[in-house]
Amino acid sequence: MTAVYAIVLFVLLIFPHELGHFLVAKMVGVKVNEFSFGMGPAIFKKQKGETLYAIRLLPVGGYCAMEGEDEESDDERAFVNKPAWARIAVLIAGAAMNIIIAVLVATITYKSLVSGCKATVYLGELMFKSLAMLISGEAGVSDLAGPVGIISMAGDTATYGLTYFGNLVVLMSLNLAIINLLPLPALDGGRILFVVIRKIAGEHMSDEMEGKVHGIGFMLLLALIVFVTWNDITRLFT
């Protein structure tokens, strides 16, 4: 059952996030090359129009690959060639969907929209306090949880019932929304920051330069994921 709850949790976290990017990208006319749920080898692929839809083996990630997202493109429908407002709308849509999921799950768990909204706000405040503790040094990177830790939490909360599992979904959805909007390279918040910076700087910053910054940020993010995953594994054995 732990595996089942973990898969449900990852689906509720990742799929709506990437779907938000995808839907808004289509709405503003951005060309989407691939919409994928999961990472690793594809177990299902279907080309429909200009977009390849895929389900991949590991349900711990996903992506909405847009034309000209990290490189120059001559296509007028490329992400990089769209107005600043359109790019920001696409980037913020993922976090917005996570917040919507948090409210919906909290509403179902607490049986009313008012109670669901109050619970979402309360858990959101906890997330901001935790982030403040991490920035101030009161909490360390070793306190973070990666995919293995999330799977463990899903199994633990599931034994206490759906209310506890619903709280975990709400908490993790808000966590994903908040973390993704931080103004750091490779995250949605960092990309939004670069849209604003490039609006001001104009031609002084190129697509290639921005792509390199996000590339470095992505590598650092992967290193952090490896670190917290190792911590998750050692915690399981200790």
Please, which residues bridge with residue 52 across strands? 34, 47
Helix (H) or strand (E) holding 45: strand 32-48
Q: For 28, which DSSP code?
A: T
Catalytic-residue membership of 138: no
Question: H helices within 48-83, ranges in order?
Answer: none
Look up residue 174 and give its amino acid: L
| Alpha-carbon distance values, 33 to 56, 214, 221 (Å) | 16, 19, 24
DSSP 173-224: HHHHHHHHTSS-TTSHHHHHHHHHHHHHHGGGS-HHHHHHHHHHHHHHHHHH
Tell me, what amino acid is at 150?
I
Which residue out of 18, 67, 69, 210 is catalytically annotated?
18
By C-alpha distance, which of 183, 175, 186, 182 is closest to 214?
186
Q: Are 88 and 224 in contact (CB under 8 A)?
A: no
**Would you name the residues annotated as active-site residues?**
18
